Structure 1
Amino acid sequence: MALRILNHKFGESANSILFRKLREEKGFAYDVYTDLDLTNYVKTLSIYTAVGEENIDESLEVIDECIKKIKNEEIIFDNNTIKHMKKVLKTAIAFTLEDPSDIGNYVLHQAIDEDNIYKFVTDMDEIEKVKKEHIYNVARLIFNEPTIHIFKSEK
């Protein structure tokens, strides 16, 4: 749950740390977002963006700086921020339950992963236990020696 909260604030939303830095402040990218893969045995957080070739190095520096500031607790996850992120994640769960395609997809993936289809109920309880220390600890864990892939067009 701490990873989900971190992901949302870091890059999942249009109000995220990366979106504000890379798009709004620097103007390097039109779109930037993160995505989580939370399968049973592998957890990954991926960052996606498209920048001009001339901005690749500086964009990587901006991303690295954001990661460093989170790990060093310079970017603050205060109680209001965490409370807001919890509400956003609970709302996302509620929307999933209201959409037949989303709930079907959820149940299918839970079955494939041999996981409980009612896990969202325990997730709702677990999310309430998340504190800022959990978020910073998971950030230091997942932002440790990241793998970076850069795709360039042929000239």
Structure 2
Amino acid sequence: MLPQNHFMVAAVLTAAVIMGFYPEMIDELLIDPASGIWPWLGWVVLAGTVAALIDLDVIILTRRAARTDPELVPWSDPMVATKDLEVFLVVLYRKGLFRTIIWTHLAFAVLATLLAYLLAPSVLVPVAIGVWSHIATDVPYIWRIRKAAGNPNI
């Protein structure tokens, strides 16, 4: 999934969590809409940004591997990769980078959640929503790429 889609999923999910589990933020918004919107926007933008930033590892790993593999050189440009995302992901799968990307995604999700918990507990909820919604929405892509590559073992 493209980073902007991860941003939107995390943003909508964060807004739903606020409405469902944080009535004090809703009260603040209803009492003074001008100042009550800022905590909402902060959480929504933070969750979306964290969700989108997880995909930086794909760009970094592809560019690093393109130094030695000429087939990956055209895919090292993010604009080219986003035009035909499924083909790009199949190429990464066939080159052996897909497993590495799965592990770096999981490592970043755990690291971001732990850092938010330890260093900034007030933003733990939006950070956790952002990283784990990204991981959850990548699962269907893993299944699709595995099927497209013709190998059921990933």
Larger radius of gyration: 2
Which of the pair is proportionally richer in helix?
2
Higher relative contact order, structure no. (Cα contacts within 8 Å, ≥ 6 residues apart): 2
TM-score normalised to structure 2 length: 0.33
Which of the pair is proportionally richer in strand?
1
